Amino acid sequence: MSSEPAKAPPTPEAGVPAATVSNKQRKRDARKAEKAAKYAHAQQKPAAENPSPEHEQQPAAAEDDPSAANYGDVLPGEILPAAVPDEPWAEIGHLDKAAAGRSVLVRATAEAVYRGSKTKNVAFLKLRQVLSTVQCVLAGSAQMMLFALSLPKESIVVVEGAVALLDEPLSYTTVQEVEIKVRKLYCISRADPKLPISVEDAGRSAAEFAKAEAKGVPLPRVGQETRLDYRVIDVRTPTGQAIFRVQHQVENKFREYLSARDFIGIHTPKLISGSSEGGAAVFKLEYKNGKSACLAQSPQLHKQMAICGGFRRVFEVGHVFRAEDSNTHRHLCEFVGLDAEMEIMRHYFEVCDIVDGLFIEIFRHLNENCKRELEAINRQYPFEPLKYLERTLRLSYEEGIQMLKEAGTEIEPMADLNTEAEKKLGQLVREKYDTEFFILYRYPLAARPFYTMPCYENPAYSNSFDVFLRGEEIISGAQRIHEPKLLAKRAAEHGIGMSSIKSYIDSFSYGTPPHGGFGVGLERVVMLFCGLHNVRLASLFPRDPQRLSP
């Protein structure tokens, strides 16, 4: 039973080619001698150029190695060597005391490879799958040891071995009570020995940096732009893996909750003839036959047309595009929209009821089923659990403005809230009602899109609402205008050309029920629920005004 080690030394530089094993069993014996000769020749060159104790102790020929078939690089075109047993793959996260004594087959990323500090003829590998890590111990031949130590960090390997109990729990792996005694080790894909960024560096918290600086040994920092340039490495961190698993759960719960309430999923076009929201923040492009087109700013028009088509309740998960020059922490030029539209039977608060139930269910689900992911995020980006009420607080726009005025914040009459006002109102609501999630309804009509229904009692206001999370607006919703003449009038007032939305306007001339809906950005929900400082962390490959790759 291994008791080594609590801390891993740096991985040796790769530079020694490893033996390889053919997957054609019938030719193995014939090729073994040839392969061994090539292996021995390859070892002699680096040993001569860069002599070291390891090279001096290295055997002269691989044919003397009885374990030659148990390790090596997989040949191009192969997935596995034939020597790998035909047995189920094990998940690192499932290894525990109950697995002790079992043989396991694991494919994972080599997060670290190093020689034992106490026993020189033992090598250790730290393997990673998603959020799980395990220690592996290798005590093979000198050639097998040399092969293991040549593996660069982040290489993809296959390990076959036996699960063994540890004398003492490990602190640097998530699997702490057992390790894997390696019998076979194959490299499926070698990473570049000099990666542009380190997964370890990319996963450090502010507390780690502060602690290191206090000791006078500052650690390398990975800036945001560098992270995004090498995103495929950046998202390998526990935080990166956790964020997108949380995002997946939000999207799944959105679909599940609405489907259970008779909503059906639809897919609307992203190429449209004109702006769907009005204004200039739209991507324009050339279409066929000299026509121009736009990328949809939202599925708004077409999800309403789906209601006109008799679908009653619809939702969509799809990309939306905003050509805004907003280099802020919460804006993207492309993001995933979660949109819904539904018939209204009595009052537009029916839409608020759906939003209320949906997001309380999402929050509850994440807290109960994503504990491990949230803990991983919290280690790098500490945040407080979201405060919310079982029945979401609803305030009128006038009530919200009054709270701001009483706190000394002046707001322009009949205007939308700016970012500072949103944050201040969020602070006031939390202090007074002990919640960070609330609905603000009955906005001024002038602050809403052209298709928003005016209030019957006071046309200066609208049947609309916004939803706030941790002091930021995340959801906009409203009852829509379903009377074509009023809709056309409002569109003209917003400077929207009738030719580009004629089919949309005409849809309401064929008989349309009162309806409303809402839309929210998936990335922004994840950012705010998890207390992230930038929405780009919640976008797999973000697009902002400055970034179009990778």
**Burial readout 116-139 (b: 16 or more C-beta within 10 A, e: otherwise):** beeeeebbbbbbbbbbbbbbbbbe
Question: Residue 207, Cβ neighbours under 10 Å: how many?
Answer: 11
The active-site residue out of 331, 372, 379, 547 is 331
The active-site residue out of 154, 334, 473, 523 is 473
CA distances from 64 to 39, 57, 59 (A): 12, 14, 8
User: Cα-atom radius of gyration of the chain, to the nearest Å?
Assistant: 30
Catalytic status, residue 364? no
The active-site residue out of 324, 350, 361, 472 is 324
Considering only the C-alpha atoms of the chain, give the largest distance between any 2 of them, rounded to a whole number of Å: 93
Q: Helix 349-369 crosses helix 238-259 at what angle (to 10 degrees)?
A: 140
Residue closest to 177 by CA, chosen among 399, 2, 432: 2
Structure tokens at 361: 């269910």
User: How far apart, in whole angstroms, are the C-alpha atoms of residue 509 and residue 140?
Assistant: 79
**Main-chain dihedrals φ then ψ at residue 113, nearest 5 degrees:** -140, 130
User: How far apart, in whole angstroms, are the C-alpha atoms of residue 336 and residue 323?
Assistant: 15
CB 137 within 8 A of CB 145: no
User: How far apart, in whole angstroms, are the C-alpha atoms of residue 249 and residue 252?
Assistant: 5
Q: Tell me, what DSSP letter sits at residue 465? A: E
The active-site residue out of 155, 476, 500, 507 is 476
The active-site residue out of 480, 524, 536, 539 is 524
The active-site residue out of 128, 313, 330, 470 is 330
Amino acid present at 381: Y
Q: Helix 349-369 crosses helix 522-529 at what angle (to 10 degrees)?
A: 50
Catalytic status, residue 524? yes
Residue in this structure with the two tokens 């922004």, named with its chain if needed: 524
Residue closest to 202 by CA, chosen among 154, 250, 158: 154
User: How far apart, in whole angstroms, are the C-alpha atoms of residue 266 and residue 339?
Assistant: 10
The active-site residue out of 322, 442, 448, 482 is 322
Catalytic status, residue 115? no
CA distances from 470 to 16, 317, 335, 386 (A): 53, 23, 20, 8
Catalytic status, residue 330? yes
Structure tokens at 157: 């390997």
Catalytic status, residue 391? no
Give the distance, in angstroms, between the CA of residue 116 and the centroid of all CA atoms in the same chain. Answer: 35
Helix (H, G, I), strand (E, B) or coil at 501: helix
Catalytic residue numbers, as ranges: 322, 324, 330-331, 473, 476, 524
